Amino acid sequence: MTLLREARAPFELRALLGSDVWRGRGVLRGDGSPVLLVPGLMAGDETLRLMAAWLKRIGYVPVRAGMRSNVRCSEESASRLESRLERAVQAAGRRGLIVGHSRGGMLGRVLAVRRPDLVGGVITLGTPHGAEMHDLHPVLQRQIDVLKAMGDARLGTLSSRCTIGAPGQASPAFVGEGCCERFWSDMRAALPGEVRGASIFSETDGVVNWEACLADGFHPIEVASSHCGMAMHPEVYVKVAGELASAVRGDRARRRNDRARSSVRAVTPVRVPTPLVSPRVPVAAGARP
Ligand SMILES: [Zn+2]
């Protein structure tokens, strides 16, 4: 991992703005489903503004995470996002989708595990699923340390308490009551069968070890992108459009099957259950079989 690879991001942005995919040409269109966009660590909604504008152009309803900077306690953030997504799903009348960049993908995954009734698909971009600190660039590790120190000083960011239960924290330096154990446990849980998962990763990611982006239940999709540039890379956008469309198709098929099953139930007469064993014929005392 080298941060020099992240110097590609401005070029990736320029390529996106000059591409057909940015104009919505040649990509699979959406069906009005809400798409919650969750930014990465220390990033805000602003970093996914382009993706939000593009999603709207291709037929989805983008939903902002409401984050100026994604730095707060994971459990608290997940709970806020859940309420936000719930409102969007109620308004749309159909399940939503989630695109999460880096840490945003971890929050998206946990929401999908907790609320498959709200989430039809989750796409993570350069997300370190279950990664330990050594899977992150040392600069990012230091930034997390600073955030923890700020949180410990009650300045509103994630704190040492949040690391209890995190991967690689079998003997945490901080001893005390944790606040994110449920979050970490849900990060390890399998994705529910009715949720489509995809993990977009890059072997040349300059911030996160790409191998940490591979996760059970998440279809791996490789792109040639920087970490920061994943939110503005034409190849990523093409893959995101494809995955969202597949999740929507899967959801539609599931609803159709549910309707078919309920109509079959409605017309099927009630059957008297067949006994599993033959009724016993009473045998007279002393009689031989
Ligand atoms: Zn926490």
Q: How far apart are CA 69 and CA 134, in angstroms?
A: 23
Task: State the distance from the centre of ligand 1 to the C-alpha of 247, rounded, in angstroms.
Answer: 30
Q: How far apart are CA 64 and CA 52, in angstroms?
A: 8
Task: State the distance from the centre of ligand 1 to the C-alpha of 105, rounded, in angstroms.
Answer: 17
Q: How far apart are CA 160 and CA 179, in angstroms?
A: 9
- Amino acid at residue number 270: V
Q: Please write the tens of the pLDDT for every residue from 90-122.
A: 999 999 999 999 999 999 999 999 999 999 999
Identify the band that residue 286 occupies on the pLDDT scale cut at 50, 70 and 90: very low
Task: State the distance from the centre of ligand 1 to the C-alpha of 179, rounded, in angstroms.
Answer: 4
Task: State the distance from the centre of ligand 1 to the C-alpha of 156, rounded, in angstroms.
Answer: 11
Q: How far apart are CA 198 and CA 109, in angstroms?
A: 10
Task: Tell whether the model's pLDDT for residue 283 goes beyond 90.
Answer: no
Task: State the distance from the centre of ligand 1 to the C-alpha of 51, rounded, in angstroms.
Answer: 28
Cβ pair 101, 38 in contact under 8 A? yes
Q: For the residues of 47-91, what is the DSSP string, one character each?
A: GGHHHHHHHHHTT-EEEE---SSB-S-HHHHHHHHHHHHHHHHHH
Distances 4 to 10, 179, 205, 227 between C-alpha atoms, Å: 12, 35, 10, 11
Averaged pLDDT score across all residues of the chain: 89
Q: Average pLDDT for residues 11-23, to the nearest whole number? A: 93
- Amino acid at residue number 12: E
HSE of 46 in the Cβ direction (CA atoms, 13 Å)?
5
The residue to which tokens 């992240």 are assigned: 6
Task: State the distance from the centre of ligand 1 to the C-alpha of 180, rounded, in angstroms.
Answer: 4
Degrees to nearest 5, angle at CA 59 with 62 and 253: 100
φ and ψ of 87, to 5 deg: -65, -45
Task: State the distance from the centre of ligand 1 to the C-alpha of 153, rounded, in angstroms.
Answer: 14
Query: Which distant-in-sequence residues (6+ apart) come within 8 Å of 112 by Cβ?
Result: 98, 119, 122, 191, 192, 195, 197
Task: State the distance from the centre of ligand 1 to the C-alpha of 178, rounded, in angstroms.
Answer: 7
Q: Average pLDDT for residues 71-76, to the nearest whole number? A: 96
Task: State the distance from the centre of ligand 1 to the C-alpha of 41, rounded, in angstroms.
Answer: 14
HSE of 209 in the Cβ direction (CA atoms, 13 Å)?
14
DSSP reduced 3-state for 235? helix
DSSP reduced 3-state for 8? helix
Task: Outline where the chain has alpha helix (H).
Answer: 9-17, 20-23, 49-57, 74-92, 103-114, 138-152, 181-188, 234-267
Question: Percentage helix, strand, coil, to 5, in the chain?
Answer: 45, 15, 40
Q: Please write the tens of the pLDDT for every residue from 129-154.
A: 977 888 888 988 899 999 999 999 99
Q: Please write the tens of the pLDDT for every residue from 122-133.
A: 999 999 997 788
Task: Tell whether the model's pLDDT for residue 276 goes beyond 60.
Answer: no
Cβ pair 201, 229 in contact under 8 A? no
Identify the band that residue 271 occupies on the pLDDT scale cut at 50, 70 and 90: low
- CATH number attached to the domain at 3-138+180-261: 3.40.50.1820
Q: List the shell of residues around ion ligand 1, using CB closer than 5 Å.
A: 73, 75, 162, 179-180
Q: Average pLDDT for residues 60-77, to the nearest whole number? A: 97
Identify the band that residue 289 occupies on the pLDDT scale cut at 50, 70 and 90: very low
Identify the band that residue 177 occupies on the pLDDT scale cut at 50, 70 and 90: confident
Q: For the residues of 41-53, what is the DSSP string, one character each?
A: BT--GGGGHHHHH
Query: Which distant-in-sequence residues (6+ apart) come within 8 Å of 262 by Cβ?
Result: none
Task: Tell whether the model's pLDDT for residue 224 goes beyond 60.
Answer: yes
Q: Average pLDDT for residues 218-225, to the nearest whole number? A: 96
Strand order in the sheet with 119-125: 61-64, 34-38, 96-101, 119-125, 196-201, 218-222
Task: State the distance from the centre of ligand 1 to the C-alpha of 157, rounded, in angstroms.
Answer: 9
Identify the band that residue 284 occupies on the pLDDT scale cut at 50, 70 and 90: very low
Identify the band that residue 274 occupies on the pLDDT scale cut at 50, 70 and 90: low
Task: State the distance from the centre of ligand 1 to the C-alpha of 71, rounded, in angstroms.
Answer: 10
Cβ pair 163, 145 in contact under 8 A? no
Task: State the distance from the centre of ligand 1 to the C-alpha of 162, rounded, in angstroms.
Answer: 3
